[in-house]
Amino acid sequence: MIKKLKRRFIILAMVSLAVLLSVIVAGMNMINYSKVVSDADTKLEVLEENAGMIMLENMMNPFGNFDEYYFDDDDGRAAFGHRGPGRHSMTRDEAEEARFFIVSADESGSVIQTYTDRISAVDTDEAAKYAEKALASGGESGFVGDFRYTVSESVNGKTVIFLDCGRTLGSFRAFLRASILMSVLGLLAVFFVILYFAGRIVRPVAESYEKQKRFITDAGHEIKTPLAIIKANIDLMDMELDSEAVDRDELRENLGDIDDQVDRLTGLTNDLVYLSRMEEADNSLVMTEVPLSDIVSETAESFVPLAEEKGKAIGTDIEPMISVQGSTKELEKLLSIIIENAIKYSISPREITCGEDEDGMPQPPVINVILRKEGKDAVIEVSNDTENELTNEQLSHVFERFYRMDSSRNSQTGGHGIGLSMANAIVNAHGGHISAHTTTGHNFIVTVAIPL
C-alpha cells in the first residue's frame, strides 16, 4: 500500500508539474509569436501604404530617393511613411533593413509586375510563385514559408507584399526549442528530486498507517482478554447451574470476575473516548490562570498512600507561586497519569535495596516529583528507577497508544498502555511539550514543559 501511495504521489506531482510547465512554455511562446506577427504586420502596413509609389517608380533604392516619405518623428528620428493620425511609419533603419518584394497581379491572378530590388534571395520567378500561393489561400494575410504577406486591392487587380521574417522567426524557433528543452530538463531534475524525497514525504502517512494497524492489533488484545475471561466464567456458571449441587460461593466468585472484566472494559472505553476528544483538532479547553504549584503538590500528596502501600515513597521539590494558563481538571489528570505510571513501573523495594535508614531498615524506592521554572516554561519532571534497562528505541514509543515496554503485553499492573498517550494529548492541548528520557539506563524520566 505504501509503495502504491508513493508511486501515485510521484505520478501526481510530475503530471501537475508537466501541466504547469506546458502552460508556461506555451504562454511565453504564444506571446513571442504574437509579437513577431504584430511587428511584421506593422511594417507591411507601412509598405502597403507606399506600395503604389514604389511600384510606379521601380527604382533601385526607393528609400534613398523618396525624400517626401521621410519625416522627423516625435523623438527627432528620421521615419518612413506618412504623417497623420492612423498612419503607420517605421524608422529609417527599420525601413532600410527590411527585406521585401512586391507582386502585382490582375483579377485572374496572373502576375503583371514584380519588384524584388529590396531582396536578393528571391528572383522574379520565385516572387511570382510566392504570390500565386498567397492568392490561392484566399486570405488577406498569412505566411508563405518565412515570408509574411498582405493582399490589397489595386487599380489593376491585387497587390501582394511579402516581408522576410526569417531572422525573427529563427529567433522565435530557437527560443521555442530552448524553452522546451529547459522544461524537459527541469522536469527530469524535479523527477529525481521527488523520487529521492518521496519516501520522506510519505513517511508520516506510512507511520500513521503502521500505528493504525498496531492500534487495531493492540486494542484487539486488550479487549480479547477480558472477553475471554467473561466467556469462560459464564460457561463455568452454566455448568454449575446444570449440576445438582450449586456452589453459590463459586458462582459469586465467577460473577466477581465478570464484574472486574466489565469494569476493565468500561475503563478502557472511557480512556479511548477521552483520548479521542483531547486529540480532536477543533478541541478547545477553557483556559484560565491556575496555580500549577498547588496542583502538583496536592496531586503528589494524594498518591502518597498508594506509594506506601506498594513499599515506595514520593519525594517532591516544588517551586512555589508558579501559575500557567490551563485547565485545572486536565492538569490534575496529567499529573495523576504520570505519577501513577511512575509508581506502577518503578523498581520493587524487595528486589533491590536502595539504601538503609538510621535503624538499618531498607529504604523504599523514591518517585521524585519536581516543578521549576525554565525560561518561559513551567517544567514538571517525574522520575523513577526501573528494574529493566531502557533503550532509546523503547523511549521513542512510550507516548503511542497501547505501547508497553514489555512485549508480552503483561497487564498485571492494571493499565491499558494508553496513559502516557492521554498525557501527551493533554500537554499538546496546553501548547506544551512532553518527552521521556533516561540518564543511566535504569531510570525513567518524564519531562513536561507548559508555557507560563
Distance from first CA to last CA of the chain, Å, rounded? 44
Cα angle at 148 between 143 and 153, to 5 degrees? 100
Look at residues 9, 4, 1 and name the one whose alpha carbon lies nearest to residue 196.
9
Low-confidence ranges of the chain (pLDDT < 70): 1-2, 50-93, 95, 209, 211-222, 240, 242-247, 279-284, 350-362, 404-416
- Could you give the CA distance from residue 155 to residue 73 in angstroms, rounded to a whole number? 31
Number of residues assigned to the chain: 452
Cβ atoms 246, 257 nearer than 8 A: no
- Is the Cβ–Cβ distance between 116 and 99 less than 8 Å? no
CA-wise closest residue to 312 among 360, 383, 231, 399: 383
pLDDT at 357: 54
pTM (two decimals): 0.51
**What is the DSSP track for 63-106?**
HHH-GGGEEE-TTS-EEEE--STT--EEEHHHHHH--EEEEEEE
Check residue 252 and give its pLDDT: 77
Residue 141 CB neighbour total at 10 angstroms: 16
Tell me the residue type at 211. K
The pLDDT value given to residue 251: 73
pLDDT at 71: 47
pLDDT (tens digit per residue) in 162-194: 999 999 999 999 999 999 999 999 999 999 888
Beta strands in 266-390 (DSSP E): 288-291, 313-318, 323-326, 366-374, 377-385
